Structure 1
Amino acid sequence: MPDMLAGVATYLCPQDGTRARTDTLTWCCPVCGGPWDLDAGVLSSAPLNSLTGRVNSLWRYEEALPLADPAVSLGEGRTPLVPLTASVSAKLDFLMPTLSFKDRGAVMLAELARRLAPERVVADSSGNAGTALAAYCARAGLPCTVYVPEGTSPKKTEQIRAHGARLEIVPGDREATARAARAAAGSPGTFYASHVHNPYFLHGTKTYVYEMWEDLGGTLPDAIAVPVGNGTLLLGAALATSELLAQGLIDRRPALIAVQAEAVSPLATAFRAGSDGLLDAPDTASSTLAEGIAIPRPPRARQILAAVRESGGTFLTVSEDRIRAAQLDLAARGFFVETTGVVCWAAVGDWTDRSVVVPLCGAGLKTGLAPP
């Protein structure tokens, strides 16, 4: 497989068509400041029957990935798919090396950074992406600084520090944290490992669906529910389903069910209004137990809304009480999941008419039980 840093792939701005080389440290479109997509040519999946005996990680789908032969893998991926009810199954992504699904994208960013050999890596996060990037940068031997908002779970900040990353706690919310990281990203020699702006992250998260497709014998459920803040898992799922459909490896596209907390639901509000983009969302987020998706102004909002509509999906929102109840219900079933990671179960747990898979995205040890 060709090395995509050798000129095959380019960054592409979906808004204005601007392109940039992937072997540079340019982290956003210089014209509009928006996030990049990746034009990597034709990426294809290996046939289902050829996967037997391959490495037991997400790298078994190497034909579908824009990087090959990783040096920083921690064995991420291949998490179990377990039935919860007759209709709803859970993908246990809290069993990843750093206890969240963010490892899928973090390994791609760390591998890309390793090849670019920057002086430093910076990232911003509400916790899980930061812990994942800290771990994978440690694996790659790269100095890493992670910006997090004040109020981030102490268990997550402890994990970031344990991996040797420098921790910067930013007064304010998630948006203030992103602004601080973007300011640092302007320093020469800095790789901004943005799980929002860098499309390599999405090519990591798409393996969530490839694994589901393999485990279900070459099929997908009627619907895939995902929690949505910045939308990295949803956009990865949209990418995977488009690729599988284009190759004739599935015969229909599952509906994407995007779930937000009622307290911070700018995308659900825009979707219900029939808007192609955000309405007048506030610049700061309200408080919610689902801290990992408390994003008032996601940069990829238009792409998220379009992906849900193209799939025939919808947006659902859940209250704080339902989040609390869902965490306790999953714990009673044997799964201790952090509060952000339970929102999909809160939204679709009582479905009986369609098959649906929900991600259990992060371990409960990261945040503890929600207060009553």
Structure 2
Amino acid sequence: MIVPYECRCGSSYAPTADRWRCDCGGLLDLPLGAVTWPPRAGGRSMWRYLDAGDLPWRDITLGEGDTPLIEEDGGMHLKLEFASPTGSFKDRGAVVLVALARALNASRLVADSSGNAGTAVAAYAARAGIAAEIFVPAGTSEKKLHQIRGHGAEVTVVEGSREDTATAAAARVEESGAFYASHVYNPYFHEGTKTYALEIFEQLGGAVPATLVLPAGNGTLVLGAHRGFAELRAAGVIDRVPRIVAVQSELCAPLAEAWTAGRDEPEPVQPGHTLAEGIAIADPARGSRILAAVEDSHGAFVTVGEDEIAEAHAALAARGLWVEPTGAVSYAAVRRLRAEGSPLVIGGTIVAPLCGSGLKASL
């Protein structure tokens, strides 16, 4: 599974513990593969879908993946990612990154996060026996900070924006030589999140849903889900990827604004204070890639307001589903689009994730 990184400038690099970007400063990607289907028999974790190669995942796995897919409201399915071991979908990517760090003999890792990625990286780093430092922005849920510290990781709180937090983490990586376990910069994270798509395809009996409704901040689930279905397409298993409707908060919507304006790159925005703290990313580093993935799927970007997020959160709770506020944005978008009679959610199966547990953060 360990394949070289690629940059759009044409450079490629064998993964090393200190490599997290191209010498030109560009982002690193992985080449698109053709997924092997059907997945391996035996076990129910996400690893049955991956060619793990030399990654020592068996030493650190918590059984991540295989989250329930339940039907709600006729034709809509909710994937309960909050049932993941640390309470969010970020486990899928974090376990791959930490396994990679261990394979590369990293002795220390650094990550930056609004909370969920940090808790996931901290948990798997603890199992791998690797020291971890997690950078978080001021205002991060105390419940998430408690979880990170509980796993033994050092927490560094940054006074400033989510982007300031990433800058501080990158500076620590440069000065220390630590492995940068970044869900934004390291494309191996998407090898984990693509299993979200592969599980849906299998759970639906080998059917491609009409629409995936996904939250979009740094885009790790959008990019991973698109990658999973694109690799099924490349293998000739399916002939199309599902439409992706990417959802942002009205108070922080650089991707949605770029989409509406017809731009290939988002421009930074000044974020407002939103309930959806997990996707409040004012300047997403992989913005052009997120926009391209949604375009390839013939999808769209939509935004939801604070009242809509709160109402969707309450509606989910009334159905027995307790999620953090960010976890309600996809459901909020579906409710709105259905009320408007939008063609984005008419005809065929709709799948939306409930990304994070309500035990991590609340209204």
TM class, shorter-chain normalised? over 0.9
* TM score, norm. by length of structure 1: 0.92
How far does the alpha carbon of each residue in 1:329-364 deviate from its partner, in whole angstroms, 9 at most, with x for none? 000011001111110100013345342100000001
Q: For 1:1-372, list aligned pairs within 5 A.
A: 4=2, 9-14=3-8, 16-31=9-24, 33-39=25-31, 42-47=33-38, 51=40, 53-63=41-51, 68=55, 70=57, 71-279=59-267, 281-282=268-269, 284-349=270-335, 350=338, 351-368=345-362, 370=363
Local SS of the residue matching 2:134:
strand
Q: Which residue of 1 aligns with 2:342?
A: none
**Letter of the aligned partner of 1:235 in structure 2?**
L
How far does the alpha carbon of each residue in 1:174-222 deviate from its partner, in whole angstroms, 9 at most, with x for none? 1111111010010243101010000000110000000001111111210
Shift of 1:56: 1.1
**Letter of the aligned partner of 2:36 in structure 1?**
S
Shift of 1:285: 2.5
Shift of 1:42: 4.1
How far does the alpha carbon of each residue in 1:63-98 deviate from its partner, in whole angstroms, 9 at most, with x for none? 3x5765512111000001001111211000000000
**Letter of the aligned partner of 2:139 in structure 1?**
G
Local SS of the residue matching 1:365:
coil
Separation in 2, partners of 1:30, 1:208? 32
The question of whether the paired residues in 2 share the 8 Å contact of 1:12 and 1:38 is answered with yes
Of the structure 1 ranges 251-260 and 125-134, higher mean CA displacement relative to structure 2 is found in 251-260
Local SS of the residue matching 1:29:
coil
Separation in 2, partners of 1:318, 1:17? 38
The question of whether the paired residues in 2 share the 8 Å contact of 1:54 and 1:60 is answered with yes
The question of whether the paired residues in 2 share the 8 Å contact of 1:79 and 1:93 is answered with yes
How far does the alpha carbon of each residue in 1:272-324 deviate from its partner, in whole angstroms, 9 at most, with x for none? 11111113x23x53211000000010010000111101110000100000000
The question of whether the paired residues in 2 share the 8 Å contact of 1:35 and 1:196 is answered with no
The question of whether the paired residues in 2 share the 8 Å contact of 1:257 and 1:315 is answered with yes
Q: Structure 1 pair 266/347, CA: closer, same or farther in 2 (3 Å)?
A: same
* TM score, norm. by length of structure 2: 0.94
**Letter of the aligned partner of 1:358 in structure 2?**
A
Task: Please list every run of 5 or more consecutive structure 2 residues that lacks an aligned counterpart in the other structure.
Answer: 339-344
Local SS of the residue matching 1:206:
helix
Q: Structure 1 pair 67/104, CA: closer, same or farther in 2 (3 Å)?
A: farther
TM-align CA RMSD: 1.5
Separation in 2, partners of 1:269, 1:115? 40
Separation in 1, partners of 2:242, 2:145? 36
Report % sequence identity. Answer: 49
Local SS of the residue matching 1:316:
strand
Local SS of the residue matching 1:256:
strand
Separation in 2, partners of 1:144, 1:134? 6
**Letter of the aligned partner of 1:19 in structure 2?**
S
